[in-house]
Each structure stands twice: as structure tokens, then as C-alpha cells.
């Protein structure tokens, strides 16, 4: 009778009956974690050593006598929680005792103390200095370089901005009439062929000035060139990356190209008029659903030092005439191919930002200090790097190689595991009814092999 009363006191809810038996719900189960797939991600970071290198970039000014959590543990906890879909620092308080996260952070699941709570994590975010952030950004670029076994023949720097809406008194958050929101506008740069992240830089809520972006890309390419002197580097972006200073600089450098959007004007429209008229006439005469024509010519704006190759694409359909321009210094490619396969391929960039922003929730810029929000953006970027590496290396040749990060979170990361700490070992059991059992087993065995070599 006492036992029944004890059990009844832990019942949180009574659900629908099944075959006349009531279902009682309580949070009193065995020591389980719903984030078992993070153990795979921990194996990836063990091979890369990325979080350890990032931790070395941060100067810890705390009094060591009163520290319960190292910077390394705090970074691991936060990055792995982001990877599992817990983007907010407030989640730390609830997940500090999660057994899988504790193991990933290097603590024993039961006998060691719990991980950090939200206040501790907030103090970490707000202790970042400019030097810490610079070193972290530099290390992220170093990791990108080291991810190649040898110098690639060509890389594409895909550049784009995105908005991070803010809802408070965040430093340098500005109002934009188009979005009707206060926001930051961070710059994302990915490698266009592989999808690897190169860097993410938080910026105030306005479009990047061409001169600022140009100077940033010059520094980035200078760093890449120090390691890869013969790699052909292409800068790809939309119209507001068409900086005349950047174009002139690219023309003065060897093995550096650019291909960006270009805003139309009266002069360009006049130079493309024959192509526009021809496309419209063909659409009218042939009565087809769509006519698409391309043409290339050289154009020099007043502020440009040199004439540049411009490609115009004219589409005529029942919706009207659509004229688009791009500008490039790349030669040796046919006009249509350069536009469709060269420029339009930057559409994959939008998907990568979506992965970073929507699935890893990198737009959660809730700190009041600008530097703290840049630190947060770096943490989300490291989570992206680990998840992308796991996807392209461990899951290569499987259905998950090209899946979204959300699918990987739902089907891999969110795997329930039973954890028991014994005297000589920690025992982890995954459920028998696990749809991704074969994939996870193969991945764990591959990591075991890599660790032993």
C-alpha cells in the first residue's frame, strides 16, 4: 500500500486508456538521455580538435580557485547543445545534467558534477575581448584551410548577408524600413563547391559597404594565398558585392576571379536592347511559354578603372520581360554556361545560410553586448562545421550525406540512450528499435578505427 501511494505521488498525468488499462505518465524513469547522437559528433571533434583550438583562443581571466567549469567544458556544452537544437543559453540550466552532454564535455555521467547553468554561460559570453574574437575567427579560417589534404585547384568564396532580427537593447542593432525590424546583418562566407564554412562576421543592421567587404576579402584571400599560392580563387556574390575597388584589385592579382550581380541602368539596358528586342520578338512569334537569351559585352562605369565583362540574361514569359546582369573577369567560358553554372549555382549559398540560421538557430542574438553576440555566432558556426563534417565524412554515400541538418538532428542526434556508470567503465545502450542503427554503428566503428590509427 505504501508502494502504491509512493508511485501515485509521482504521476504527472493520466492518459487515454488502452484495453481498459489507464496510462500513467511520470518523469521518474531510468538515467536516459535523448541526445545520444551527440556521441558521434564528439568523435568528429576528437578527430578535428576544433573546440580545443577555439578554447585556446580565449584568455581566461577568472580566478582559478573558484572555477567549476573550464572554458573547454563550457564551449563543448554550449556547442553540442546548439547542435542538438537547444540554441538558447537558458537551456543550459535544464540540460546541465544530461548524461550524453556530460560525457561529450569530458565528465563522468553520474559521479562528476553537473555542467554549467545559464548564469555561468552568460558570464562566458560577456567576458569576450576583441582579441579573443579575432583569434577565434582566425582559427575558424585555419580549420577551413586544414580541412584540405592538399591545395585545391579552385575554390569559390560565396558571400552573402542575412538578417538577424533583434528584440531588445542590443548594441549596434539598427532599424531597417524594408524589414520593419531592428536587426543585425552578419556576413556569411562559404566555399561554394564543398559547402564548408569559411567564416561568419556579425555586422550592424545595414548592408555591407562595398569598400569594407572588399578590404575583408582582400585580407581573407591574402591568408588563403599564403597556403595555396596556385589555387584559383573566385569571389561570388550578389550585386552589392560589385565593388570597383575589389574588381580592380582582382584584375591586378593572379588566379583571382570574381562573378557578382550587377544592378541595371539606362546604359546597360541600351547596350542589351538588341538582345531584349530579339527575345521579345521570338516569344511573340513562336508562342512558347518561355524564351531565354544571353549576351555578353564590355562595360565601364564612370567609377571603374577598367572595362569589365558583363553578361545579360533576358527572360520573356507571360509574366513579362525580366532582365538581369552579372559582371565578371572570368574568361574562357561560354556566356550561358558562366551565368547558369557559374553565377546561378550560388543559390546553394541560400540553403547553407538556412541550415545555419534556421536549423541551428544562429539568429538568436539575445545578448546586449555586440561582442557577446559575435561570440554566439561563432559558437553556432562551430556547430555547423562539426555537423557538416559529420554529414560529409561519416555519412558519405548514405541518404544522410545530402540531408538537411534538421533531418540529422531528428534522426541521428535525437537518439535515446541508456547510460550507466560502473566501476571500471561507462555503459551506454541504444534502443533496439532504432531506425538508424546500422548507420550509427558503422559511424562509431569508423571513428574507433580512426582513433586507433
Q: What is the pLDDT of residues 146-166, one digit of tens each?
A: 999 999 999 999 999 999 999
**Which tops the pLDDT comparison, 209 or 97?**
97
Q: Cα–Cα distance between 1 and 288 in angstroms, integer?
A: 82
C-alpha cell at 104: 561529450
Other CB atoms within 10 Å distance of the CB of residue 106: 12
The whole-angstrom separation of Cα 407 and Cα 417 is 19
Confidence at 28, pLDDT banded by 50, 70, 90: confident
Q: Which of the four pLDDT bands, split at 50, 70 and 90, describes residue 9?
A: low
Q: Which three cell numbers stand for residue 130?
A: 576583441
Torsion of CA 106, 109, 115, 117, to 10 degrees: 150
The Cα–Cα gap between 56 and 62 comes to 15
Residue 173 has pLDDT above 50, yes or no: yes
The full 3-state SS of 31-89, as one line of letters, equals CEECCCCHHHHHHHHHHHCHHHHHHHCCCCCCCHHHCCCCHHHHHHHHHHHHHCCCCCC
Q: What pLDDT does 26 receive? A: 77
Question: For residues 324 and 313, what is the distance between their CA atoms, to the nearest angstrom?
Answer: 5
Written as one string, the DSSP assignment of 390-417 is IIIIITTTSTTTTS-HHHHIIIIIS--E
Q: Are strands 21-25 and 13-18 parallel, antiparallel or unpaired?
A: antiparallel
Phi-psi label, residue 165: left if phi above 0, alpha if psi -120 to 50, beta otherwise: beta
pLDDT in tens, 247-270: 889 988 999 999 999 999 999 999
Indicate the angle between helix axes 210-227 and 130-146, nearest 10 degrees: 50
- What does the pLDDT read at residue 1? 42
Mean pLDDT, residues 24-33 taken together? 79
pLDDT (tens digit per residue) in 104-148: 999 999 999 999 999 999 999 999 999 999 999 999 999 999 999
- For the entire predicted model, the pTM comes to 0.92
Question: What does pLDDT average to over the chain?
Answer: 92
pLDDT at 185: 92
- Asked whether the predicted pLDDT for residue 2 surpasses 80, the reply is no
DSSP 359: I
Q: Where are the beta strands (DSSP E) in 87-213?
A: 154-161, 164-165, 174-176, 181-184, 187-191, 197-201
**pLDDT at 81 (0 to 100):** 97
Per-residue pLDDT band at 209 (split at 50, 70, 90):
low
- Mean pLDDT value across residues 29-58: 94
What long-range pairs does 294-299 form, CB within 8 A, spacing at least 24? Answer: 294/335, 294/336, 294/339, 295/335, 296/335, 297/271, 297/272, 299/267, 299/268, 299/271, 299/327
Q: For 276-325, what is each residue's pLDDT tens digit?
A: 999 999 999 988 889 999 999 999 998 888 899 999 999 999 999 999 99
pLDDT, position 199: 97
Dihedral of alpha carbons 274, 280, 284, 285, sign: positive
Label residues 66-102 b or e (16+ Cβ within 10 Å = b): eeebbbbbbbbbbbbbbbbbbbebebbbebbebbbbb
Torsion of CA 365, 366, 369, 372, to 10 degrees: -60
Could you give phi then psi for residue 113, rounded to 5 degrees?
-65, 160
- Band (pLDDT 50/70/90 cuts) for residue 442 is very high
Amino acid at each position: 500500500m505504501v508502494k502504491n501511494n509512493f508511485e501515485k505521488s509521482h504521476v504527472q498525468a493520466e492518459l487515454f486508456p488502452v484495453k481498459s488499462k489507464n496510462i500513467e505518465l511520470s518523469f521518474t524513469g531510468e538515467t536516459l538521455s535523448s541526445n545520444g547522437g551527440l556521441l558521434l559528433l564528439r568523435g568528429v571533434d576528437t578527430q578535428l580538435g576544433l573546440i580545443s583550438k577555439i578554447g585556446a583562443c580565449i584568455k581566461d581571466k577568472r580566478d582559478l580557485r573558484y572555477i567549476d567549469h573550464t572554458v573547454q567544458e563550457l564551449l563543448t556544452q554550449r556547442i553540442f547543445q546548439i547542435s542538438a537544437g537547444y540554441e538558447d543559453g537558458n537551456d543550459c540550466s535544464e540540460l546541465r545534467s544530461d548524461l550524453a552532454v556530460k560525457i561529450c564535455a569530458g565528465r563522468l555521467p553520474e559521479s562528476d558534477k553537473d555542467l554549467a547553468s545559464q548564469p555561468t554561460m552568460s558570464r562566458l559570453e560577456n567576458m569576450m575581448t576583441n582579441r579573443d574574437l579575432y583569434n577565434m575567427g582566425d582559427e575558424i579560417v585555419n580549420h577551413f584551410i586544414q580541412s584540405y589534404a592538399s591545395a585545391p585547384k579552385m575554390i569559390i568564396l560565396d558571400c552573402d548577408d542575412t538578417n538577424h532580427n533583434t528584440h531588445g537593447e542590443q548594441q549596434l542593432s539598427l532599424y531597417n524600413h524594408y524589414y520593419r525590424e531592428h536587426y543585425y546583418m552578419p556576413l556569411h562566407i562559404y566555399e561554394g563547391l564543398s559547402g564548408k564554412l569559411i567564416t561568419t562576421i556579425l555586422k550592424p543592421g545595414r548592408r555591407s559597404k562595398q569598400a569594407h567587404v572588399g578590404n575583408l576579402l582582400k585580407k581573407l584571400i591574402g591568408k588563403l594565398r599564403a597556403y595555396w599560392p596556385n589555387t584559383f580563387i573566385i569571389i561570388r556574390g550578389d550585386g552589392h558585392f560589385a565593388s570597383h575597388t575589389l574588381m580592380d584589385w582582382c584584375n591586378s592579382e593572379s588566379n583571382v576571379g570574381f562573378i557578382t550581380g550587377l544592378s541595371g541602368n539606362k546604359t546597360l539596358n541600351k547596350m542589351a536592347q538588341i538582345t531584349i528586342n530579339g527575345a521579345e520578338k521570338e516569344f511573340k512569334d513562336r508562342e512558347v511559354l518561355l524564351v531565354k537569351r544571353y549576351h555578353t559585352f564590355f562595360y565601364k562605369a564612370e567609377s571603374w578603372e577598367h572595362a569589365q565583362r558583363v553578361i545579360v540574361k533576358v527572360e520573356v514569359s507571360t509574366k513579362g520581360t525580366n532582365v538581369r546582369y552579372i559582371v565578371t573577369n572570368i574568361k574562357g567560358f561560354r556566356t550561358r554556361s558562366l551565368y547558369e553554372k557559374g553565377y546561378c549555382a550560388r543559390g546553394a549559398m541560400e540553403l547553407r545560410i538556412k541550415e545555419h540560421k534556421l536549423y541551428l538557430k544562429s539568429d538568436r542574438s539575445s545578448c546586449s553586448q555586440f561582442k557577446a553576440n559575435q561570440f554566439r555566432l561563432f559558437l553556432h558556426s562551430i556547430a555547423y562545421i562539426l555537423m557538416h563534417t559529420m554529414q560529409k565524412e561519416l555519412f558519405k554515400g548514405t541518404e544522410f550525406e545530402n540531408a538537411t541538418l534538421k533531418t540529422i538532428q531528428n534522426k541521428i542526434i535525437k537518439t535515446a540512450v541508456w547510460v550507466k556508470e560502473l566501476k571500471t567503465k561507462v555503459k551506454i545502450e541504444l534502443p533496439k528499435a532504432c531506425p538508424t542503427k546500422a548507420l550509427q554503428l558503422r559511424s562509431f566503428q569508423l571513428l574507433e578505427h580512426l582513433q586507433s590509427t
